[in-house]
Chains A and B, each alone.
Chain A
Amino acid sequence: MSATAREKQLRGWSLVGPGLLWTIAFFLVPLFIMAAYSLFQRVGGRIVTDLSLANYRLFFEKPHHHDALFNSLEVAVVTAAVSMFLAYPLAYILAYRVPPRWQRIALVAAILPFWTSYVVRSYSWLLVLSSEGIVSKALQWTGLCDGPVAIANTRAATIIGFVHFFTMLLTLTIFANLVQIPASYRRAAADLGASAFQTFWRVTLPLSIPGVMVGAFLTLVLTLGDYITPQILGGYRELLLPQAIMLQIQRNADFPMASAMSMILMVVISAVFVIFSRWLKIERL
């Protein structure tokens, strides 16, 4: 190998090295430890290191364990769908209808929810959605409902809390994608006789799919792993997987069972990544 090639290789490693070391130390090693723990058992208040798949078997045998996974998937899919439905028009208006000088202000407004504490925001929603809250009062005042309506402490409340946050996230990823689509494409479509709808349907929408998919992927992954929102807004009416994992830790300090459940969550998230990978073009954002 020539000196130049060696120098080039060395420079490459020096650039990649810190990131690689970080990933090994703070992702791969913890992941390996978690995988190993998932094969241990908690017996008599202590962790027994005999390897076994008992925790995984227990997870799939007991409906109250694996139902938590299905609940998480349902909530994540509904959240992603509703957030996407709300975020796309918002991002479209921001990218193409709002004058450039107002775009920055509109974007700041879009990311404002990210500036408040996640916990405070969730408790605020709890008050808004309670039977004494503003939503219930408004519904009664308009005559749409006879008595108090309590949305707090239900799955709907959890989804509302998630949607509030993720609509903004999706808006940003879709907006970033939309502004990169050259205006000449839309003009060319119009010159060739396409209507506004056809231009959107056949040009803008397909080209914005990567932004939608990155946002949808992030929404699904972050929703699947979130503990705070369902804990505060869901009122324990049902368990989502992160809550079921926390139960194992908080009640029994059963780290092996919690690790097995976390590994299952990791597998599900990896599967989501594989499904989305063909659209995940980060460089387009």
Chain B
Amino acid sequence: MARTRFILMAMLAAAGWSAGVQTAAAAPKELNVLSWCDHTDRELVGAFEKANGVKVNLKEYDGTGVALALLEQSKPGDWDVFVVDSIDVARVVKLGLLAPLNEADFPFNDIFPQVRTPELHKVDGKLYAVPEKFGYNTIAFNKAKVDPRDMRDAAVLWNPKYKGRLAVYDYYIPVMEMVGIGLGIKPAELNAGHLKAVKEKLFAMKAHSKVVGDVVTVQTALATGEVDIIAGGGEFAVSVLHKENPNLDWMLPDQGGVRWQQAIGVFAASQKKDLATQFIKYIMSPAGQGKLATSSCYWAMPANSKATLSAEQKKVLRWDEQPKFLANSYFYLRPDEAFDKALLDTWTEFLQHTP
């Protein structure tokens, strides 16, 4: 009995030792990235992994609220890199989540001037995130089925001519801003007093819409011919489908559109800040920017004007029209907590509304 126990103990000890040795020897360098789905493209991160002998673990999310929920359930130090909407950078800095960055580490001179937006990425004069990609929440459509001239007017979203042919992207702030634009209200001026008018138009849109959903849902609806227009859609919804169906297009109405922009930063609690900074440098390099812009999840404009892109890719992204688009687009609103709750309440009413 004693002998059996000894043999068992010896086997367990040997197994434990060998497992320990294996873990220590094989432990790869790892970087944990919390990001939108575009960074999960292996084409993008594969080159960085190979060059640095590192494994990049990516967790995707689809809204800052979801990311904050994930972070609340994580231990400090679990995450190294954070890809976040530029508009939310100050908010997450206030929560103590991001570490300051050295501006000289990144090619700011190559970033489109309108996209640098230090007011969004700096807090108390310190840089916390680097703008990496941008695009528009506007109107995407199938030009074989609608009159593209109609799309030049933001009020097309509630035009009875397109009843039953509309999909609404389920992201409350940009779509409500688009409704505001259609009503002649500039996004920066949108306030609680406008909510009644906005709600009325949202309900009209609901009556005309066939589906409200996330990117994949509205994209599928447009691609399958279920709908012909995506309210709140843009290059991110249709560019990736351009090869299959060149008729899928997008446009900024004459009154303007909403611009989204995402940025990348290092978590304050990261234990691998140097490696994380290295990753951001790669993402901001011309090669990284080209791959990020044409990620299999969604295409959009790279922040770096020197991004490596083919002429065809630039055409799909409407590279040459960017100066006009940038001048005629507005950032996401930055509502205070009370107004944000009111906006979300109105949006929930819209979702619940049965025409």
A residues contacting B by CB (< 8 A) are: 43-45, 62-65, 67-68, 123, 126-127, 130-132, 150, 152-153, 231-232, 235-239, 243-244, 247, 249-253, 255
Contacts and interface: CB of A to CB of B under 8 A. Distances in A.
Contacts of B348: 64-65, 239, 244, 247
B210 interface: yes
B96 to A, nearest CB: 11
B352 A131 contact: no
B351 A239 contact: yes
B72 interface: yes
Interface stretch (B15-23, B37-45, B58-66, B260-268): B58-66
Nearest to A148: B225
Interface in B19-76: 62-63, 65-66, 68-69, 72
Given A239-B348, A253-B69, A253-B72, 19 more contacts: A45-B91, A45-B94, A63-B352, A67-B352, A68-B352, A126-B220, A132-B224, A152-B226, A153-B221, A232-B217, A235-B210, A236-B213, A236-B351, A238-B354, A243-B351, A249-B69, A250-B63, A250-B69, A252-B65
Contacts, number: 87
A65 to B, nearest CB: 8
Contacts of A67: 352
Nearest to A66: B352
Contacts of A150: 210, 226
A235 B217 contact: yes
Contacts of B254: none
A236 B210 contact: no
Contacts of A43: 337
Interface residues of B, number: 33
A251 B63 contact: yes
11 contacts: A45-B337, A62-B345, A232-B217, A235-B211, A236-B212, A237-B212, A239-B348, A249-B65, A250-B63, A251-B172, A253-B69
User: Which secondary structure dominates where chain B touches chain A?
Assistant: helix
Contacts of B224: 127, 130, 132
Contacts of B354: 237-238
Interface string B197-232: 000000000000011110001001100111000000
Contacts of B62: 250
B349 A64 contact: yes
B344 interface: yes
Contacts of A132: 224-226
Interface string B311-355: 000000000000000000000000001001100110011011010
A117 to B, nearest CB: 15
B65 A253 contact: yes
B340 A252 contact: yes
Contacts of A44: 337
A228 B220 CA distance: 16
A40 to B, nearest CB: 13
Nearest to B92: A45
A176 B224 CA distance: 42
B246 to A, nearest CB: 19
A260 to B, nearest CB: 15
Contacts of B72: 253, 255
Contacts of A131: 225-226
B345 A64 contact: yes
A44 B352 CA distance: 26
Contacts of B349: 64
Nearest to B73: A255
A251 B226 contact: no
Contacts of B1: none
B235 interface: no
B249 interface: no
A64 to B, nearest CB: 4
A249 B63 CA distance: 10
B62 to A, nearest CB: 7
B226 A236 contact: no
Contacts of A126: 220
B2 interface: no
Contact of A45 (B95, B225, B345): B95
A153 B211 contact: yes
A235 B213 contact: yes
Contacts of A63: 352
- The list of the 6 closest CB pairs from A to B, nearest first, reads A236-B212, A235-B211, A64-B352, A153-B211, A253-B68, A253-B65
Nearest to B173: A251
A280 B170 CA distance: 41
A231 B337 CA distance: 27
Contacts of A64: 345, 348-349, 351-352
